[in-house]
Each structure stands twice: as C-alpha cells, then as structure tokens.
C-alpha cells in the first residue's frame, strides 16, 4: 500500500517535471526573440546617437525586428516545407541551410525593392515628415501583427501582401482614398489567383513529365540515367536565370539576353556534371520508384537553398522597407516616397531577424506546407521548387505581379491534385476490362459489383486535405484588407503618441 502511494507520488513528480520542461521550452523561443529585439533597439540608438528623432527610430527598429522575425517564421516555410516534407532534409538541416542562404541573400543582394513599398502603392510623391513616418510605422506594425497571427494559426500568407495592406490602410487614414494607387492594388488582388494557379499548373506539368519519362517506365533505372541529368540541367538553367534577374537585382541588373545565355551555359554544365553522378548513384539501385526518387534529393536541396537566397534578397524589403523609409525621413527632415536609402545596419536587422525567426518559430509552418497539405516525396517536392522559380521568371517576363508565397503553396497543391487525379484514374482499372493499362491485381477475380463498389470508393479518395485548401485560401484573401484595417487603427493611435 505504501509502495503504491510512493509510486503515485513519483509519477506525479515526474509529470510535473515533464510539464515544467515543456513550459521552459515553449518560453525559450519568445525569450530569445525578446533579447534580439532589445539588442536591435540598443543598436539603433547607438547608430543614430543623440537626436530629436532617435526615439522614433528606436521604436521603428523594434517593429522592423519584430516583422523580420515573422517573415522568417512564415515566408521561409514555403521554400523549405517541401524538402522537409519529402524527407530530403531534416528539420535541423533545413533550418541551418535556410538560415544561411536567407541571410546571405538579404545581405548580399537585398533591398532592391525597398522603394517600391511606398512608390508603387501611394500616388502622392511627397508628404509631411510626421505623417509619412506614422504611415510607414503603422503599416509595418500592422503587417507584423497579421503575419504573427497567421503563423500562430498555421496559415502561410504573403508578407508582401501584408505590407501592401498596411501601407494602403495607413495611407487612407492619413489622406483619404485618393492617395492610393488603385490599379496597383487591383494587380495585387489579381495575383491571389494568378500566383497559385500558375505555380500549381507548372508543378503539375513537371510531375506528369517525370512520370511519363521515368517513374512509369518498366526500366526506371535506365530512364533515370537519361532523364534525371536533363531535369538537373533544366533546374540549373532556370535558377541561373532566376538569380540573375531576381536574386541579384540589387547588385546586377542585366537585360533578358544575358540571363538567357547564362541559363543555357549553366544548364549545359549542370547536365555534364549530373551524368556521371546519376550513373554512380544508380549503380546498385533497385528498379523501384522509391529508389529512383532518391536521385532527386540533392537537386531538391540545392533548389531549396537557391530559393532561400532569392527570397532573402527580395522579401527582406517587407521587413525593413518601411523602416528604411522612416530612417530616411528622420535624416532628411521630409517624407519622400522615392529615393529611400538603405544603410547596411538596417539591412542587417532584416537579415538576422529573418534567420532567427525561422529558427525559433519556423518549424510549425514548415510542417504545414511540407506535410499537412499532401504527401510529398523527393520528385513531387522537386517539381514544386522548380515550379516556383519558373513561375516567377514567366511572371517577370510578362510584367505580372505574383506572390512567391502563393506560388510555392500553389505548387504543392498542384502536385497534390494531379497525383490525386492520376491515382483515381489508375486505380479505376478495377472497374474496367482486364486489358486496361492499370489494373489492381487483387481485383482480377472480383465480381462486377465488387469492382464497381471499389471504383466508387476510389472516387471519394482525396490526397489533398481540403480543409487546408479552404483555410489557406481564406487567409490569402483577407490578408490585404485585414492588414489595412489594423494599420488604419494604428495610424490614429500613433498620431496621438508622436508629437
């Protein structure tokens, strides 16, 4: 009896110890984030020195650091989710690679689109300095709060759209509806449909091509030795053009002729390098789809790293664009929509914040994109990653505004839906004559009624979780208006605090 009571006491103590450990782990990430924000504020105060606008810059720096953490927690998951979901990378490996390449992209090539945050969204070329500062500060804080909420509920949203909504909301609050460049906003709204549809369709096309050339062939190994180097060449060429036109746009802005030539050259080099590598990797490989898919693992990891570099170069502006505008307004004494300068210390806040936010809060969204939408393997994930780069290139060539977040998630949906369609079509061989192309061997002796019942069961088979389709689409649609409403409210609040 006494022993039983002792065992119960020890069990309670063990449960309490476990609960305490879990609580300390859950509080560690916010604690580290808070320390980062305090360091950001101190650094901003040190750089600005004593001046009348120093406290405004410090507040804006805290908000920018907070936004950078949220960009890392939410946006980066779109690049690394497929690689983790396909088991090509572990979570730790994805966090390390993404953190390094995101920071490198932000520091080496980031900030080219800083001026577009205000210039393309607001018609007024210039406004009073105090008003301009409050517009940018409200926009930054509103977008950060919205992205934080989306991350908390597990919805991958576009941080670009959140910033757009923030600038529009505070701009309207400051000067009315006439200040907003509505054609640009209409183009942003159109990208809600264009981005995921293009990404999904292109990813689906790549997946169908790989099925036709490799995974449905009888001799998969021989087919893979021919076609995998070709897909590596396509990936190498596409990402060369992608980085030349988007990822390195701050330090190099060539016309389309040079990126195309570089894409062809590097694609040829990728093909030459992949030929012996694929032959070596497939030497003792079984003639099975699962083993052949492993040949796409290294190309997938490389593509995810390059996507992270390009993302850091482009989307760091979402975190530090409004902040850079505030610093410029403080230093010049007037609010200019164009001509925003980008000091290195401001860029560093965005780069470090994105990497830290990814490490602290990114795993949840990475799992959502990589594991909870549809089941991914290396081939499907490779198609999604390659689709993201191709879609951005096509959209850039056509002058269409697209969201990298929507493209990446749309690509995952695309491979999931085409896989669902193919799976249903193939398995429906149980309800058709035996000489059909795909027949389930277990159904060869089934009665017509049993075969028909099995076909009807297949019709209801879903390989894409519809609840995620609806919830993510809803989050996309309300991002701009929600950020705008929050930003307008914050603008009125800040107008009372900033003299």
Q: How confident is the model at residue 340 (pLDDT cuts 50, 70, 90)?
A: low
Find the helix or strand (DSSP H, E) in which 334 lies: none
Residues composing the chain: 499
Cα-based distances in Å from 319 to 23, 96, 114:
30, 21, 10
Q: How many CB atoms lie within 10 A of CB 355?
A: 27
With CA atoms as reference, report the closest residue to 242 among 115, 351, 395, 370: 395
Of 32-36, 72-76, 174-178, which has the strongest mean pLDDT?
Answer: 32-36
Q: Model confidence over 111-161: pLDDT tens digits? A: 655 555 555 666 665 667 788 888 889 999 999 999 999 998 888 888 888
CA 276 from centroid of its chain's CA atoms:
33
Burial of 433 (0-12, 13-18, 19+ CB in 10 A): exposed
Residue showing tokens 């022993």: 3
d(CA 65, CA 67): 5
Would you say residue 318 has pLDDT above 70? yes
Given a cut of 80, whether residue 350 has pLDDT beyond it is yes
pLDDT digits (tens, 9 = 90+) for 395-419: 877 767 677 888 888 999 999 999 8
**Cα–Cα dist 172/134, whole Å:** 12
Helices 378-398 and 182-210: crossing angle in degrees, nearest 10, is 140
Give the model's confidence band at 292: pLDDT under 50 very low, under 70 low, under 90 confident, else very high: very high
Query: By C-alpha distance, which of 232, 300, 304 is closest to 268?
Result: 232
Please list, in sequence order, all residues whose beta carbon lies within 8 angstroms of the beta carbon of residue 158, skipping any fewer than 6 positions away.
Answer: 75, 403, 404, 405, 406, 476, 479
Asked if residue 279 has pLDDT above 90, the reply is: yes
With tokens 């030539």, the residue in question is: 261
Q: For position 457, what pLDDT does the model report?
A: 54
Residue 433 has pLDDT above 50, yes or no: no
At residue 450, the pLDDT reads 58
Q: Is the pLDDT of residue 376 over 70?
A: yes
Q: Averaged over 205-219, what is the pLDDT?
A: 93
């Amino acid at each position: 009896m006494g022993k039983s009571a002792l065992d119960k006491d020890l069990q309670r103590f063990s449960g309490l110890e476990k609960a305490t450990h879990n609580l300390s782990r859950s509080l560690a990430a916010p604690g580290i984030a808070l320390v980062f924000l305090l360091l950001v504020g101190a650094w901003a105060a040190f750089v600005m020195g004593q001046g009348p606008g120093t406290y405004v810059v410090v507040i804006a720096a805290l908000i920018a650091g907070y936004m950078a953490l949220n960009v890392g927690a939410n946006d980066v998951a779109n690049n690394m989710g497929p690689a983790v979901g396909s088991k090509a990378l572990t979570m730790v490996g994805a966090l390390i690679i993404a953190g390094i390449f995101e920071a490198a992209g932000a520091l080496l090539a980031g900030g080219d689109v800083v001026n577009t945050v205000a210039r393309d969204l607001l018609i007024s070329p210039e406004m009073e300095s105090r008003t301009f500062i409050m517009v940018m500060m409200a926009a930054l804080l509103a977008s950060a709060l919205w992205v934080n909420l989306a991350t908390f509920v597990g919805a991958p949203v576009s941080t670009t759209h959140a910033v757009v909504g923030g600038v529009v909301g505070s701009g309207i609050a400051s000067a009315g509806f006439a200040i907003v460049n509505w054609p640009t906003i209409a183009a942003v709204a159109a990208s809600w449909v264009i981005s995921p549809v293009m990404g999904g369709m292109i990813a689906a096309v790549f997946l169908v091509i790989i099925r036709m050339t490799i995974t449905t062939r009888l001799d998969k190994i021989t087919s893979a030795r021919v076609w995998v180097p070709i897909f590596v060449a396509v990936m190498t060429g596409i990402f060369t053009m992608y980085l030349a036109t988007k990822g390195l746009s701050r330090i190099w802005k060539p016309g389309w002729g040079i990126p195309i030539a570089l894409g062809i050259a590097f694609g040829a080099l990728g093909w030459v390098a992949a030929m012996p590598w694929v032959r070596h990797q497939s030497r003792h490989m079984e003639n099975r789809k699962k083993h052949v898919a492993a040949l796409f693992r290294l190309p997938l990891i490389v593509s995810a790293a390059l996507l992270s570099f390009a993302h850091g170069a482009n989307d760091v502006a979402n975190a530090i664009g409004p902040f850079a505008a505030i610093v410029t307004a403080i230093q010049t004494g007037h609010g200019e929509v164009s001509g925003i300068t980008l000091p290195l210390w401001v860029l560093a806040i965005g780069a470090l914040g994105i990497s830290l936010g990814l490490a602290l809060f990114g795993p949840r969204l990475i799992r959502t994109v990589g594991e909870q939408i549809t089941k991914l393997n290396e081939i499907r994930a490779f198609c999604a990653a390659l689709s993201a780069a191709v879609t951005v290139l096509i959209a850039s060539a056509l002058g269409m505004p697209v969201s990298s977040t929507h493209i990446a998630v749309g690509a995952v949906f695309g491979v999931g839906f085409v896989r669902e369609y193919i799976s249903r079509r193939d398995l429906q061989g149980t309800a058709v004559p035996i000489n059909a192309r795909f027949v389930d061997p277990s159904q060869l002796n089934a009665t017509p009624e049993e075969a028909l019942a099995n076909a009807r069961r297949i019709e209801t088979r879903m390989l894409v979780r519809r609840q995620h389709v609806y919830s993510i689409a809803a989050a996309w649609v309300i991002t701009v208006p929600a950020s705008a409403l929050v930003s307008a409210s914050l603008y009125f609040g800040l107008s009372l605090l900033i003299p």
